[in-house]
Structure 1
Amino acid sequence: MELYHFSHEPDIEVFIPRVKANRTDMPPVVWAIDPEHAFTFYVPRNCPRIVYKRSVMMSEEDERTFFGVSSSDTVMVMENDWYSQISQTTMYRYTFAREGFERFDETAGYFISQQTVRPLDMQPISHLLDQLMALNIEVRFTPRLTKLREAILASTLTDFGIHRFEHAKR
């Protein structure tokens, strides 16, 4: 299995372990994500977003609330103010060999390595919203994510991610 790292920079030749700003309790590491969850990075780095998936554990009421008549099993919600930036951004997907990485979070698909890593490949990814929709992900926009976050945290949904919420409107 290959792993990925997403960046706004198109010319990274080597990834050196570093301490992540919101994980100062951890040693320096290189972060990567598995292919199944890579789509969660098809937006600019600091774009606040909520991603959730259907699960067998959710109540019928929550299925109606969060999916309505949607035929998609995955929904990704971002704030309206990010639409233009998402539309104009190109992300760079670096590919890593799986060797040297350990699983950090199975639900989110995160892997870490304490070693310096050289990418095998780099691919630019543009038309990010088109890429998401091609994966049958329902893309939604809202003025603010706060109410959705509160609703998800109080729900029976078990497969969700709340990303870069520190950049969301309050």
Structure 2
Amino acid sequence: MHLYHFSEESDIDIFEPRVKANRTNMPPVVWAIDREHEFTFFVPRDCPRIVYKKAEGVSAEDEAKFFGLSSSDIIMTVETHWYQAIRDAVVYRYTLPSESFEVFDATAGYYISQKTVRPTHREPLTNLIEKLIEMNIELRFTPNLFPLREAILRSTVKDFGIHRFENARQL
């Protein structure tokens, strides 16, 4: 199994467990993501984004609303003012040994370890928009994510992630 950690920092030699700001009820851990879901980090770390996938149980109405005429089963939406930051970003993908990790959220591809972890490889990723396109992930831009978030939360779409929403522009 391939597990990764993504960062805009290029010089991380060791990952120490720490308490995540939005999960203060958890013990300190090192976070990782699996290969299937790594694309959700092909943007700058603080970029707010909503990612959703076609899956069983989505109503015909919601499929038309959220996927429209797209041939992609995965849509990532970000706010328009993040375009240049995404275009110019260099994100480092750290490969982590999987032995000490356990599944935290299989749907999102998140894994955690309570042990210190040394990466086995570091790779700079550039041209992130092109990488998403190559994966047949539709990247959408919108002036504001709030309407989409509210619509997704009220929908039959269940395979979704809302990332770094605290950084979204207020209406």
Query: Which interval holds the TM-score relative to the shorter structure?
Result: over 0.9
Mapped to 2, the partners of 1:161 and 1:78 lie a distance apart of 12
The answer on 1:78 being equivalent to 2:78 is: yes
Q: Unmatched 5+ residue regions in structure 2?
A: none
- How far off is 1:37 after superposition? 0.4
The equivalent of 1:113 in structure 2 is 113
Could you tell me which amino acid in structure 2 is paired with residue 145 of structure 1? L
Mapped to 2, the partners of 1:49 and 1:169 lie a distance apart of 11
- How far off is 1:11 after superposition? 1.1
Mapped to 1, the partners of 2:166 and 2:107 lie a distance apart of 21
- How far off is 1:106 after superposition? 0.9
Could you tell me which amino acid in structure 2 is paired with residue 140 of structure 1? R
Mapped to 2, the partners of 1:18 and 1:148 lie a distance apart of 31
Question: Alpha-carbon deviations, 1:32-62, whole Å to 9, x = none?
Answer: 0000000000000110000000012000000
The equivalent of 1:30 in structure 2 is 30
- How far off is 1:66 after superposition? 0.4
Mapped to 2, the partners of 1:93 and 1:5 lie a distance apart of 6
The equivalent of 1:7 in structure 2 is 7
The equivalent of 1:19 in structure 2 is 19
Mapped to 1, the partners of 2:53 and 2:108 lie a distance apart of 12
The equivalent of 2:52 in structure 1 is 52
Question: Alpha-carbon deviations, 1:1-52, whole Å to 9, x = none?
Answer: 0100000111111111111111111111100000000000000011000000
Q: Unmatched 5+ residue regions in structure 1?
A: none
Alignment of 1:115-154 (within 5 A): 115-154=115-154
User: In the comparison of the two structures, how many residue pairs are matched?
Assistant: 170
Could you tell me which amino acid in structure 1 is paired with residue 169 of structure 2? K
How does the TM-score come out when normalised to structure 1? 0.99
Question: Alpha-carbon deviations, 1:62-119, whole Å to 9, x = none?
Answer: 0000011100000000000100111111000000121000100111110000100000
How does the TM-score come out when normalised to structure 2? 0.98
Could you tell me which amino acid in structure 1 is paired with residue 10 of structure 2? P
Mapped to 2, the partners of 1:110 and 1:64 lie a distance apart of 29
Could you tell me which amino acid in structure 1 is paired with residue 106 of structure 2? E
Could you tell me which amino acid in structure 2 is paired with residue 77 of structure 1? T
Q: What is the SS of the residue equivalent to 1:83?
A: helix
Mapped to 1, the partners of 2:38 and 2:97 lie a distance apart of 15
Mapped to 1, the partners of 2:24 and 2:146 lie a distance apart of 26
Mapped to 1, the partners of 2:22 and 2:58 lie a distance apart of 30
Q: Identity over the aligned pairs, expressed in percent?
A: 62
